[in-house]
A and B are shown apart, each in its own frame.
Chain A
């Protein structure tokens, strides 16, 4: 469908005479402004000596200073300066590299540069998600709000790696929808330089190829030979882990340990165990003297909602997206519940599906939008207040 026919198919836009591209840009831009206002109000309410200049710094919490450090000064050597036990090698390079380049071009405070860059990346995510949102304007509006003024906008509008992760995973899935395996491989390669679980996209690509193979009525036994006869799929699959491979080579050169990003987890005191036990323990960590769910319960709820939405993806036969999401959720769970809300919030297929479902009905859409905007305020207040479930 061309943009012209899409405009024609959208009566209210046609009657207003506004070209669709203008609308598609205006919506996220509007949420950029709205989100900044909401988060500033939250910041002003949470911080006694608030100032516009301190706004971006005020939102820079938890992992944010680590990313700022990498963007400004690069990776730690070994021995680690200041004798810290933890080097910053666990943080994958693509996002801080982009911020570092932007900071070189625009010599302003890094946190501000990162904020502007993240807002631009979030906007780009919304724009490229338009086809995946079934060209539904309500779903598109919700997705834009989710990124720029929603409950988890703090992750997509500061220097967290989640903004790049959701952009690149959206781009990869879009390429897969179009069966462009080389394009998918390129974006997946960038994804694997963004977060370690980005490498999972290689498996999702293989799943897509398998589904296509079976849908075409070809036998199971001929799958591997059929893939090997497709140089585009072969190249795409090998491109997907390339970002990770480059990072391994860099770390080997830099600290002598290509797997330092894994080994350094020891310094974060990660204890590995059974994901089911971790989720159950979190779910049954009841509050004392309060009805507000505990931080572990909030994290467990995020995981359960994520798995529920993954089931819906599978039911809709979006096998590649479903497999990507499920593996991306399970891998971090082996190291406990830490950050699972953030990880779940940045899974593009889940956010897109949720916005599609909520955008189906006009009333539900309106209510969801209000909830998103109100939640942005309260989540930001809690973020500044140090709520552990948001880490």
Chain B
């Protein structure tokens, strides 16, 4: 091959033909690469990057009414509730990472009159010692909370029955508009805001 002048015309044709085939395949691969066929949550997190929380289909197994600790030690109960946007748990709770986090609670089919309790604390380095947390349940904003640093605070929110879907799941999204980049070069998926220490859903079932 070092002397292509020695190639016969048919040899040259074969090489050009092989090159054309390979090029066609690579064009096909490039076309595929530009046309992903993915779920909305995948697209939002990986491709459009409109969220920092990859919403995966977690079942959210939950013993209705149980107070779950999100500090280390209660992982058996807390792990199934975590969907995304969390790191830990450690001794002082589950650390939120990114601009939003999600929890999921699977509820009894006849559950109604629900109350959601979240126990949270802002990170120590929060500007002015506070963080805002918007609580969105099944796509409906329930409230925007002010969470302070120091001692964990409990927040209790009533969940309208109309917010419950047919899948009997409580999909809780916590949004952190004041989340902080610890290092200016950090990705927004590493932003810090609050630590979740406990959670509970109560009501009639």
Binding site for B on A (CB under 8 A): 78-80, 83, 85, 178-183, 230-235, 238-239, 241-242, 244-246, 248-249, 252, 255-260, 263-264, 266-267, 269-271, 273, 278, 281, 336
Q: Is the CB of A235 within 8 A of B36?
A: no
Q: Which of B25, B42, B190 contacts A78 (CB 8 A)?
A: B42
Q: Residues of B contacting A278 with CB < 8 Å?
A: 185
Q: Is the CB of A271 within 8 A of B186?
A: yes
Nearest opposing residue in chain B for A179, CB measure: B2
Nearest opposing residue in chain B for A281, CB measure: B185
CB distance from B70 to the nearest CB of A (A): 16
Q: Residues of A contacting B7 with CB < 8 Å?
A: 231-232
Binding site for A on B (CB under 8 A): 1-2, 4, 7, 12, 15-16, 18-19, 22-23, 25-26, 28-30, 32-33, 36-39, 42, 45-47, 49, 54, 56-58, 82-84, 185-187, 189-190
A178 to B3, CA, bound (A): 10
Q: Is the CB of B185 within 8 A of A271?
A: yes
Nearest opposing residue in chain A for B184, CB measure: A271
Q: Residues of B contacting A244 with CB < 8 Å?
A: 29
A-B interface, 8 closest residue pairs, ranked by CB to CB distance from nearest = A231-B15, A245-B29, A258-B33, A263-B46, A257-B36, A235-B19, A269-B187, A256-B37
CB distance from B113 to the nearest CB of A (A): 30
CB distance from A80 to the nearest CB of B (A): 7
A273 to B181, CA, bound (A): 15
Classify the interface of chain A: helix, strand, loop or mixed. Answer: helix
Q: Residues of A contacting B47 with CB < 8 Å?
A: 257, 263
| Known contacts A231-B16, A242-B26, A260-B46, A252 near B57 by CB under 8 Å | no
Nearest opposing residue in chain A for B80, CB measure: A83
A273 to B16, CA, bound (A): 41
Q: Is the CB of A232 within 8 A of B1?
A: yes
Q: Is the CB of A258 within 8 A of B28?
A: no
Q: Is the CB of B15 within 8 A of A182?
A: yes
Q: List 15 A-B contacts (CB under 8 A).
A: A78-B42, A85-B54, A178-B2, A234-B15, A235-B15, A235-B22, A238-B19, A249-B32, A252-B32, A252-B36, A257-B47, A258-B36, A259-B33, A266-B187, A269-B186
